[in-house]
Amino acid sequence: MTHPIARHGRLKTPHPFALVAKFVGVAALVVAVSGAAFAGYATWSVSSEVQTVSLAGDTGGPPPQLSAIDGGVNLLLVGSDSRQGQGDAYGETEGNLNDVTMLLHIAQDHSNATVVSFPRDMVVPIPSCPDPTGGSFDAMEAQPLNVTLSYGGLPCTVLTIEALTGLSIPFAAEIQFNGVIEMSNAVGGVPVCVAEPIDDDYTGVHLTAGTHTLAGMDALQFLRTRHGVGDGSDLGRISSQQVFLSSLVRTIKSDSTLSDFSKLYGIARAASGNMQLSKSLASADTLVSIALALKDIPLEKVTFVAYPGTTGGSGVYAGKVQPLADDAAVLFTAIAADQPVATAGGTNLGLGAVADPNAPASSAAADATPATAAPDAPAPDASASAPDAAAAAPAATATALPPSITGQNAAEYSCSKGNEG
């Protein structure tokens, strides 16, 4: 039976793509080195479209120079289901919910990066948050994570993730539906492997088994689909999205994209016109400096993981995701120590993804390398520049994560798994 698109809002299925915000800086960087006159126009054009918001304690400060950011980075990337100003193409909505919440961590020595996806329905404590109109909201003992954006805006989502992870997060960005469409168009589409047919009348996604290049509305709806992948849950959708994200990273880091200034500029324009950034992130120079820290990290050192949780609960929270705090502590201890991480066996992809049987041989060999528990990491040398420190230090051993933490690295080729139920 076909369901009307208006049910999207009532079923709370939207889940737009947020991670690509970090690549805006790559675009700005390449444009900047391509010529002074064009660089001046491009920087003004991109920066003039950006909306900003102040995080708690955000003072802005002078922007860095055009070089890799000094030290590590924690950047929260939020995808909103708000349709404000975007027409009626996406159906009804019940408010402004953060249906995607991802934390990007770049290590101090810029040797690795970890992206953590947080389930939208995970029940967590919400701290006291500033009211955008003045004053503050009371703390709440337990609420689904995705209400934080409507409760206190982007700063409230940041405060909640800081409390949950124990990490300080100075940078944050929020992206809307239209940004997903325009950015997937800007890169010329993203190749996505589908292991089993995906059929979802809620989002209109119908994909046969095989590889599909997704762009525009097709890319957005693929990222939104929950009923069509895995077990139909948000946990399955996260792993299916990681199939897309790892392919997107490979696409953007490929020579065909990095050498195409029009594509890179298109990525920056698409993002800036559909995003809200923390004031700490709003400078084009800041975006460039973060991109410089990211651009040389090997694909196998860019790891996507999901915050561990299990469905359960009782009463009003029955069926919601309950955090597995002890397992999560292993992940965030490694992140705080700047250790790279690896999921169990390198093939623990989650409910919505399976290994690609046609993966390149080099990728398959890399994926077979087992992870071992990491020794205590030495404190970073604050007097050394990031590149020098990385060259002088031996490669850190990846921390093996508990089996409850699923994911993959960007070098792994995987396929989205259709919902057989």
Query: pLDDT for 330-380, tens place per residue?
Result: 999 999 999 999 998 667 999 999 999 999 876 544 554 445 554 443 433
274-308: pLDDT as tens digits: 778 888 887 767 777 787 788 789 999 999 999 99
Average pLDDT over residues 138-161: 93
Query: 320: pLDDT confidence band, cut at 50, 70 and 90?
Result: confident
Q: Which one, of 196, 194, 202, 208, lies nearest residue 221 by Cα?
A: 202
pLDDT at 219 over 50: yes
Label residue 200 by pLDDT band (50, 70, 90). very high
Name, in order, each residue with C-beta under 8 angstroms of 29's C-beta and a sequence gap of 6 or more: 66, 288, 291, 292, 295
Instruction: Specify the higher pLDDT residue, 299 or 177.
Output: 299
Sequence ranges of the domains in the chain = 7-416
Least confident of 23-32, 104-113, 135-144: 23-32
Supply the pLDDT for residue 47. Answer: 59
pLDDT of residue 287: 72
Assess whether pLDDT exceeds 60 at residue 222: yes
Q: Which residue has the higher pLDDT, 23 or 153?
A: 153
What mean pLDDT comes out for the span 318-338? 94
Higher pLDDT, residue 82 or 171: 171
Segment 195-208 mean pLDDT? 94
Predicted confidence (pLDDT) per residue in 379-415, tens digit: 333 333 344 444 445 567 899 999 999 999 999 999 9
Quickly state the pLDDT bin for 134 (edges 50, 70, 90).
Answer: confident
Residue with tokens 């990066």, as numbered in its chain: 113
pLDDT of residue 362: 64
Residue 284 pLDDT: 67
232-263 pLDDT, tens digit each: 988 899 999 999 999 998 988 886 776 676 77
pLDDT at 112 over 70: yes
**What is the pLDDT at residue 40?**
41
* Token pair listed for 323: 């955090």
Q: How does the average pLDDT of the chain come out, rounded?
A: 77
Looking at per-residue pLDDT, the higher value among 110 and 287 belongs to 110
In the prediction, which pLDDT does 305 show? 97
| pLDDT tens digits, one per residue of 366-381 | 554 445 554 443 433 3
Least confident range of 17-31, 148-162, 339-353 = 17-31
Q: Would you state the pLDDT for residue 183?
A: 81
Please, what CATH class does the domain formed by 7-416 belong to? alpha beta
